């Protein structure tokens, strides 16, 4: 196995920033910039994290829309496909 290869069996829930950068540089996952181009949020990004969800490396994106409602999306870090979107109702 090459150094830096993604292997969920040995991963922590939240990989460290150096590991995420290495995966992006190696082409294992998309950059946050690429994810945001593929997944327009329609508001202000509040937080973005890379984490393991059910054996899949995902970007967890949290944002605030123009009406002040908070949203959260899980996006496949390899493909940019949106897995799940949740909205908080005030």
pTM: 0.81
Q: What is the pLDDT of residues 3-24, one digit of tens each?
A: 455 555 445 678 999 999 999 9
Burial class (CB in 10 A: 0-12, 13-18, 19+), 61: buried
Burial class (CB in 10 A: 0-12, 13-18, 19+), 53: middle
What's the average model confidence in pLDDT over 30-41? Answer: 94
Cα dihedral 5, 76, 80, 61 sign: negative
Q: What is the pLDDT of residue 11?
A: 54
Own/partner long-range contacts of 17-22 (Cβ < 8 Å, ≥24 apart): 20/50
Q: What is the pLDDT of residues 51-89, one digit of tens each?
A: 999 889 999 999 999 999 999 999 999 999 999 999 987
At residue 44, the 3 state secondary structure works out as: strand
All domains in the chain, ordered by first residue: 12-87 (3.10.450.40)
């Amino acid at each position: 196995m090459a150094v830096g290869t993604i292997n969920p069996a040995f991963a922590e829930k939240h990989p460290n920033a150096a590991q995420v950068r290495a995966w992006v540089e190696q082409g294992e996952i998309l950059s946050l910039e690429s994810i945001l181009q593929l997944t327009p949020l329609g508001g202000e990004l509040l937080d973005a994290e890379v984490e393991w969800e059910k054996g899949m490396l995902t970007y967890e994106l949290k944002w605030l829309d123009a009406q002040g409602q908070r949203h959260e999306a899980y996006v496949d870090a390899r493909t940019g496909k949106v897995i799940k979107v949740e909205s908080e109702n005030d």
